[in-house]
Chains A and B, each alone.
Chain A
Amino acid sequence: MNTIRAWFTKTGEASYISHLDLQRVMGRAMRRAKLPVWYSKGFNPHIYMTFALPLSLGQESLVESVDFRSEEENLDFEAMAKALSDALPRGIEVKKMYFADTDAAKIASAKYQVRIAGDWTSAMEKYNALPEAIIEKKTKRGSKPLNLKEQIPQIESWVRDGETCFALTLPAGSSGLNLNPSLLLQYLEQQYGLPAAQAHILRVAIYTEDGGKFLG
């Protein structure tokens, strides 16, 4: 039995597919694409699938991945990737398919590019000058205060085509702190009136503990 990883993008209209819905969408696409997937045994056999790092609704990503299993030995990954891409909705494109190498448990951080209409560079400078930036982070057990400055001490921003742009590398993964870029935007909205709901968030890389890239 092999575990196979499909690296895909999720942009445009597809960014509005929730994580829960994506699981169903992916399962059906695999069936449509006739991938030689392994089904779990039992009364209700289903495709065994794991997604590395769930993406928030409305955010885009170039680095999503799903693992599935197959009992087939001779696999034409290129043809499989194309078939799966063709079966997926607009905005989801399979970049590459290969035997899963890196363990998803080793994911440590993710990099995001953020764009927002208007010039917000002065707000960013104000943020950079703050000694601390406390926001309530919701957890499974209520909420607790978090100092954003510990994770994001400085934001280097610039304006291009009427939009303020910046990049963030934030802790991510199944163990330890997971920081969503929307939390920072929420803080910037509260403090400086930046319209957080209109921000474009694009996940561009996922890193493992040793600093290497999770995908590719």
Chain B
Amino acid sequence: MFNENLKAALAAVQKPGRYTGGEPGCVYKDKSDLDLRFAFCFPDTYEVGMSFLGMKILYEELNKNPHWWCERAFMPWVDMKAEMEKRNIPLYCLESKDPLSEFDIVGFTLQYELSYTNILAMLDMAGIPLRAADRDDTMPLVVAGGPCVCNAEPLAPFFDMMMLGEGEEQLPAVCELTVRAKKEGWSKKQLLRAMADIPGCYIPSLYEVNYNEDGTVKEILPLDGVPAVVTKAIIKDMNSQPLPTNFIVPMVGAVHDRAQIEVLRGCVRGCRFCQAGFLYRPMRERKAEMLNEAARDLCANTGYDEVSLTSLSTSDHSQLETLLDEMLEWTPEQHVNMALPSLRIDNFSESLIQKTTKVRKSGLTFAPEAGTQRLRDVINKNVTWEEIEKSCRTAFEGGYTGVKLYFMMGLPTETMEDIEGIAETAQKIVDLYYQNPDKPKGRGVQVTISVSCFVPKPHTPFQFCPQDTKEMLEEKQRHLVRSVKSKKITVRYHDSKTSFLEAVFAKGDRRLADALEEAYRRGCYFDGWDDQFKYDTWLEVFHDLGVDMAFYANRQIPTDEITPWDHLHYGVTKRYLISEYEKALSAKTTPPCNRHCAGCGANKLLGGACFEYDQSVVHQNG
């Protein structure tokens, strides 16, 4: 379908390379020899989607099967969407240029609540009816995976099936079953019922949700004998899963355009605001040797000159220094730079800084998240000022002149004193720089504080908490700006309107589907992009449909209330979330789970203890 019509559209848009495919590493197959065609859809731009490691993992995994062809589709930018609609070009996959409607499975990854309208836009552009109930058996199966599946209830009517947890084994199982259903002529209904038996597969239409008069959930009833609770799929041993070594290398620059090596999955830290920290439990590492080989292969196959060791908390890898030493044996001669995102302040050592700066020096970023020790204890970000000070001093002595600090505002129990603490923390770091006798001559320090608005998320201890109202957040933002006295400190903060909508959908239920569809019909998409976000339209939609946004975002949820996501299980028990919530309110911390098991329940997913606890460490940390 790379025809004149498409070429004419490409001639009229910005960055046409986003819509052509053909990148090195892109997989092409002979259509006559296929059992299954899978459209992997990322509901945001090409540049954002091509940065996403999950797509690379699953693209390689599915395409290993010679009879399956996994292709990619992204949300076309506003100009291309208009051109395609004008020229009647349906949304297509980049490899074959065939429309999504010709695929067996159309799968979306749900990374962010504000990309939900893009999903509707993509289905609509492909001529696929939005609601599952309106799609007959000739239509592709429309499925979803990714972190937001943990409560994608606002999207329930649009999807045939959603996948909880990790896809490496689950998605091939779904594809195998679909191939069998095609060969044996099953109905879609039959297929979906059978899919419910694959670990982590959730069929929204097979659960009936009833509500109380006050709008809360009364009950969630499983139908047709499906399990009452869906438990996420998990890879028990990360060493059993080879890393992808053949990334598609984008030609139009992606946001994260580098080789990525996933060193570990999950996180031991238990920060109470962090949804990923709870969804991906327990923490599982890959061996240093396996990681080093994969990094070398990936750089050789892609030509990338930068490799990033990614995870939720890379410095918690028990063999990190060994890995860096092994990688340093080949990276300099290959002109490869190493990047370590998500370092922790508390174990950021001098030797680590030397190893990462050997090839190229980049900026330094820390995330204390809160400005006072009390509030850091509330959120269980077990970081002290002494540790921040030590890390910054190490960094300044290592030649860094810029530090970026991430904070959140609107955290549970937060007061104006905590907001002032953000400014004070930044000021103390500026002062620290000038105390360093070896600071580079004539160069000042630049401390950037980037402050986002806290969004309470499902499956975290803070799921019960109300979000601060927009007015409260804006007052706190003003107070922060007033509290900053130094010109060496730059304050960046996030728009509270988008965070409000994010909170509504994060904790939303199925009744929000109508609002979502209506907002899309009235022109809302790319809500995550400030220049496209139509807040007033959203307010009108909720007003017109009589749905109270504050009910979802700003309401305290009693711990005994049934949440819309109570039937979706990620390994951590609700009892544990409640106990962590209560500890938070009294500012009591919980140690990382590789030091001491707090009993969250996720070990049951592995069928045994998550770590071989070293008794001396256990006692040391009490």
Contacts and interface: CB of A to CB of B under 8 A. Distances in A.
Interface in A117-142: 117
Contact of A57 (B2, B4, B16, B305): B16
Nearest to B305: A31
B11 A197 contact: yes
Contacts of A16: 10, 16-17, 19-20
Given A14-B22, A16-B19, A89-B23, 13 more contacts: A16-B20, A17-B17, A21-B251, A21-B252, A25-B24, A28-B24, A28-B304, A32-B301, A58-B10, A87-B24, A89-B24, A89-B251, A198-B11
B12 A87 contact: no
Contacts of B16: 16, 57-58
Contact of B8 (A21, A29, A32, A197): A197
A27 interface: yes
Given A30-B303, A90-B22, A45 B335 contact: yes
B22 A91 contact: yes
B249 interface: yes
Given A17-B17, A24-B253, A28-B304, A88 B24 contact: yes
A29 B24 contact: yes
A154 interface: no
B163 to A, nearest CB: 32
A43 B253 CA distance: 23
A22 B22 CA distance: 13
Nearest to B15: A18
Interface residues of B, number: 29
Interface in A1-60: 12-14, 16-18, 21-22, 24-25, 27-32, 34, 39, 43-45, 57-58
Nearest to B8: A198
A44 B362 CA distance: 12
Interface in A138-158: none
A34 B302 CA distance: 11
B147 interface: no
Given A21-B251, A21-B253, A24-B251, A13 B20 contact: yes
Contact of B7 (A24, A43, A57, A198): A198
Interface string B13-30: 001110111111010000
The 6 closest A-B CB pairs, nearest first, are A28-B303, A13-B22, A31-B303, A32-B303, A197-B11, A13-B20
Given A12-B2, A89-B251, A18 B8 contact: no
Nearest to A195: B8
B334 to A, nearest CB: 8
A105 B8 CA distance: 34
A198 B4 contact: yes
Nearest to B249: A28
Interface of B: 2, 4, 7-8, 10-12, 15-17, 19-24, 26, 249, 251-253, 300-305, 335, 360
A32 B252 contact: no
Contacts of B26: 89-90
Given A13-B22, A21-B252, A21-B253, A87 B303 contact: yes
B251 A58 contact: no
Between B7, B21, B26, B251, the greatest number of chain A beta carbons within 10 A of the residue's beta carbon is seen for: B251
Nearest to A25: B251
A92 to B, nearest CB: 9
A115 to B, nearest CB: 11
Contacts of A21: 17, 251-253
A205 B54 CA distance: 44
A114 to B, nearest CB: 14
A146 to B, nearest CB: 23
Contacts of A89: 22-24, 26, 251
A197 to B, nearest CB: 4
A69 B9 CA distance: 39
B12 A197 contact: yes
Contacts of A39: 335
A91 B135 CA distance: 38
Interface string A175-196: 0000000000000000000010
Contacts of A57: 16
A129 to B, nearest CB: 29
A133 to B, nearest CB: 23
29 contacts: A12-B22, A13-B20, A16-B10, A16-B20, A17-B251, A21-B17, A21-B252, A21-B253, A24-B251, A27-B305, A29-B24, A29-B303, A31-B303, A31-B335, A32-B24, A32-B301, A32-B303, A34-B300, A39-B335, A43-B360, A58-B10, A58-B16, A87-B24, A88-B24, A89-B26, A117-B4, A197-B8, A198-B4, A198-B8
Nearest to A34: B300
Contacts of B305: 27-28, 31
A29 B249 CA distance: 10
Contacts of A45: 335
Contacts of A24: 251, 253
Contact of A32 (B11, B22, B302): B302
Nearest to A58: B11
A27 B306 CA distance: 13
B72 to A, nearest CB: 14
Contacts of A87: 24, 303
A188 to B, nearest CB: 15
Nearest to B257: A24
Interface string A67-102: 000000000000000000001111100000000000
Contacts of B335: 31, 39, 45
